[in-house]
Amino acid sequence: MRDASPQTVFLKDYTPPEYLIDQVELNFDLHEQRTQVRSILNLRRNPQSQERSAALTLLGEELQLVSIAIDGQPLEQSQYLLDGEALIVHEVPQDRPFQIVIENIINPQANTALEGLYLSSSMLCTQCEAQGFRKITWFLDRPDVMSRFKTTLTGDKSKYPVLLSNGNKVGQGELENNRHWVSWEDPFAKPCYLFALVAGQLECVADEFVTMSGRRIALEIFVEKHNVDKCAHAMQSLKNAMRWDEETYGLEYDLDLYMIVAVDHFNMGAMENKGLNVFNTKFVLARPDTATDSDYEHIEGVIGHEYFHNWSGNRVTCRDWFQLSLKEGFTVFRDQQFSGDRTSPAVKRIEDVNALRTRQFAEDAGPLAHPIRPEAYIEINNFYTLTVYEKGAEVVRMLHTLLGAAGFRKGCDLYFQRHDGQAVTCEDFVKALEDANGVELEQFRRWYSQAGTPVLTVGQQYDAESQQLHLTIQQSCPPTPNQPVKAPLHIPVKLGLLAADGSAATIHYNGSSQAEITLNVTEAEQTFSFAKLPQQPVVSLLRGFSAPVTLKMERSLDELAFLLRHDSDTFNRWEAGQQLAVQVIFKLIDAIELSRPLQLEPVIVDAYRSVLTDSGGDLSYQALLLALPEESYLSGQMAIIDVEAIHQAREFVKKTLAEQLHAEFKQLYVQHHLDESGIFDAGAVGRRRLKNACLSYLSKLENEDVYHIAEQQFYSARNMTDQMAALSAIVNSNHPAKARSLDSFYMQWRQEALVIDKWFTLQATSSMPNTFATVQALMKHPAFDMKTPNRVRSLIGAFSQANPLHFHAINGEGYRFLADQVLALNTLNPQIASRMVTGLAQWRRYDAARQGLMKQQLQRIVATEHLSKDVYEIASKSLA
Ligand code: ARG
Ligand code: ZN
């Protein structure tokens, strides 16, 4: 909690650590309310440090000190200073290594912040990234201090039969009073944020992986007994990830054991602790009847992500937390590549871009905008953002595009080889890519320091006489907090040209002829000319979304319909359909605001008809082509967001398409409504996606036939994808069996926490009337729990971040509700509390009345006493 005004930490103030800790020995005597920690630190002065004071400052929070000794000599109180954040020993040996032994006590049960050592259900577990280790014992809690850890855990044999930590098991034994101990040793030096321990009544699902060099690795997934039947997919995903990293990056696993533990209470998705990943159950557990196809994909993605961190994060780690994107942006890029290879690269790319444009672009355009390498923070946990992760991944992707797959790989090889065992910076990464390829990326580096989403404005001019096309590209970037003026960036823009018959027109540029090229946009304004074009081609620009920018280019509806039909680039083909829908929806929004009658442009009906009748093979892709742009994406395109008009216009399009293409939707639904539960190949997943996309349209018709279909599917479904899709159609319509279906679903799944999360989310995101009353009632439901982050996200998070229509109710009830919950969470779990503030951060984007109401709630939050640093930073910066 905050007493004085919170301190800001700056990147420019970085200095190397004064001391290093080469070896640590940790002993835990585990008890729920009173765990004793004995820590032996082997320290020495860091030769790289310029500081010359004799004192040693170790960081620690919420710890109770029992004793401290140096080289066997207990310290008197006058020899050290203790405050809420540090333990300062006034004098330590300067000329030789020395040993400090600290004994302290912690209370895991009282730890509702879920940082450090805490209790989740009946098991003990840890979360140390970013700065949680200091809640376990005093330490040099910073990533550039890397130590070899030996850990001994002692605990009750019945309560904690399984005792885990990083590395290899090196000893175990029995003790009196039904207690036992296990010792672990991690041979790799690591920063303390990668430390972990787990103790509990856990079942182990075991398997094996043989690496490319023939080493046998034991794979172990630990879960509570009732979840043993939901681990097979996670295990297969892990093996897939290990193989993929060998094949794609030449990277092999290094320990003999890889463990994953699934816990119910977790602030984020998962954590890459060396050899002992701790996961939110959401990203491990899956059975066909409990998890949707998307859940299956997310699990594989997150398992991959944490596994890939073993190299991009653990073997080569970050020098300081400003470099977070060095490991996160790179690792997200790697997990995106992996998921694309495992499923469909086209579909994966669209999903990632969609998430980036709806959510990260909003962050980049708002008061919390920051570069992927931030320059200052109050609370680092607030910087595990869409910008650091997702935009960070886009920056790595652009490097991949600029260097080509082979050049990128060469650069990565050099990076891992040059920096293995080190804590490094984003600069080191770029430098390795440059050196390996003999190129210079000076201007490109601005992506690391400049915030905001660049805008590319494109004009085209065709000259029939010279048979030339001239493309003029202007780049600009709106100001962001502390960055009023922006410099031009190096932006790779992939380009293709289409002839009138839809075929590719050859691009003659700078003496070469190709079907597709990447333009290097580097200046504020640049013109590119293409020769030998007897007819004016249709331009397909920013293919594959080759840069995280907003593209502005005049397009007619017919031109977009043409691209939707013919573009060979799967991303741009989808994008043409999206932009077609965007234009149509915005005309309707204008009509709504002027109280004019609504009419649907026939061109979109024709476009959708051709999408419905031409599968092209990848049915998941076809389902995406049918999805209208989300309300949150449309909001991003409006100067002043009109939530009601956006909702009304989009619903009108959806309903009218359903009416006019009723037969086509119904036919596709029937054709693909098969029982393929338990089958997860691309074909079955695609059929479910397409069928359920059709159901979602058909449900807008609100007729007996559709009510019947939805209810039928709901009760007969044997997989969660179909059951959820049916329930969603029921909940988001006036279906007469709504209450009965929701009750039946609850009764069916009341033992499965992750399914009950879906039940909460579905109700919280409904656009039907009375949703707010439902949300309030659900807050009092016996299954709701403020101490379980997944539950908080599924109700409060879902309502405030994924239900714009009701959250932004003009009477301000949604805003007041959210602020109440933020304040309640602030004392329980600051990280989760601060994530919930996001719903209010974009207040400047709304009309004056809503602005006032939102601002009022932010001010109320900031004025509250005992605000955590986490909430204070987000709320105060949102107001600034
Ligand atoms: N490194 C983890 C991941 O990307 C995220 C951990 C973040 N934890 C936190 N408390 N901020 O997988
Ligand atoms: Zn990560």
CA distances (Å), origin 202, targets 109, 180, 621, 803: 19, 16, 40, 38
Domains, the chain, ranges and CATH? 19-201 (2.60.40.1730), 317-449 (1.10.390.10), 458-556 (2.60.40.1840)
2 pLDDT above the threshold of 50? no
How far apart (Å, rounded) are the C-alpha atoms in residues 432 and 419? 9
Band the pLDDT of 689: cuts 50, 70, 90.
very high
pLDDT digits (tens, 9 = 90+) for 643-671: 999 999 999 999 999 999 999 999 999 99
Band the pLDDT of 756: cuts 50, 70, 90.
very high
The percentage of the chain sitting over the pLDDT mark of 90, rounded to a whole number, equals: 98
Output the six-digit token pair for 661: 């293409």
pLDDT at 4: 59
pLDDT digits (tens, 9 = 90+) for 160-187: 999 999 999 999 999 999 999 999 999 9
pLDDT at 426: 99
How far does the centroid of ligand 2 lie from the alpha carbon of residue 99, in Å? 33
How far apart (Å, rounded) are the C-alpha atoms in residues 147 and 220? 25
How far apart (Å, rounded) are the C-alpha atoms in residues 832 and 266? 10
Can you give the pTM of this predicted structure? 0.99
- What angle is formed at CA 387 by the lines to CA 521 and CA 433, rounded to 5 degrees? 55
Band the pLDDT of 144: cuts 50, 70, 90.
very high
Is the CB of residue 209 less than 8 Å from the CB of residue 246?
A: no
How many residues belong to the chain?
880
Is the CB of residue 797 less than 8 Å from the CB of residue 775?
A: no
Is the CB of residue 188 less than 8 Å from the CB of residue 232?
A: no
Active site residues: 306
Q: Is 390 in the pocket of ligand 1 (CB under 6 A)?
A: no
For 404-416, what is the mean pLDDT?
A: 99
State ipTM. Answer: 0.98
Q: How many CB atoms lie within 10 A of CB 122?
A: 13
Where do we find the tokens 């998890």? 291
| Rg of the chain on CA atoms, in Å | 28
pLDDT digits (tens, 9 = 90+) for 108-124: 999 999 999 999 999 99
Is the CB of residue 437 less than 8 Å from the CB of residue 408?
A: no
For 275-299, what is the mean pLDDT?
A: 98
Site to probe by mutation for ligand 1, drawn from 268, 326, 330, 382 as the one with most ligand atoms within 8 Å of Cβ, is 268
The percentage of the chain sitting over the pLDDT mark of 70, rounded to a whole number, equals: 100
3-state secondary structure of 879: helix
3 pLDDT above the threshold of 70? no
pLDDT digits (tens, 9 = 90+) for 345-383: 999 999 999 999 999 999 999 999 999 999 999 999 999
pLDDT digits (tens, 9 = 90+) for 767-821: 999 999 999 999 999 999 999 999 999 999 999 999 999 999 999 999 999 999 9
Q: Is 351 in the pocket of ligand 1 (CB under 6 A)?
A: no
Residue nearest ligand 1's atom 1 by CA: 271
Task: Show Cβ contacts of residue 37 under 8 Å, excluding neighbours closer than 6 positions.
Answer: 26, 27, 28, 29, 102, 103, 104, 105, 106, 136, 137
CA distances (Å), origin 800, targets 137, 362, 632, 771, 823: 37, 15, 12, 12, 15
pLDDT at 582: 98
How far does the centroid of ligand 2 lie from the alpha carbon of residue 328, in Å? 5
Q: Is 634 left (phi over 0), alpha (psi -120 to 50) or beta?
A: alpha
Q: How many CB atoms lie within 10 A of CB 9?
A: 17
3-state secondary structure of 459: strand
Output the six-digit token pair for 734: 């006036």
3-state secondary structure of 535: coil
3-state secondary structure of 575: helix
Q: Is 652 left (phi over 0), alpha (psi -120 to 50) or beta?
A: alpha
Is the CB of residue 450 less than 8 Å from the CB of residue 490?
A: no
5 pLDDT above the threshold of 80? no
How far does the centroid of ligand 2 lie from the alpha carbon of residue 518, in Å? 30
How far apart (Å, rounded) are the C-alpha atoms in residues 308 and 317? 12
Band the pLDDT of 615: cuts 50, 70, 90.
confident
Q: Is 129 in the pocket of ligand 1 (CB under 6 A)?
A: yes
pLDDT at 215: 98
Which atom of ligand 1 is nearest to 331's Cα? 4
For 20-44, what is the mean pLDDT?
A: 98
How far does the centroid of ligand 2 lie from the alpha carbon of residue 819, in Å? 29
Q: Is 306 in the pocket of ligand 1 (CB under 6 A)?
A: yes
Verify cis geometry, omega within 30 degrees of 0, for the bond prior to 69.
no
Which atom of ligand 1 is nearest to 132's Cα? 10
601 pLDDT above the threshold of 90? yes
1 pLDDT above the threshold of 80? no
Band the pLDDT of 616: cuts 50, 70, 90.
confident
pLDDT digits (tens, 9 = 90+) for 225-267: 999 999 999 999 999 999 999 999 999 999 999 999 999 999 9
Residue nearest ligand 1's atom 3 by CA: 271
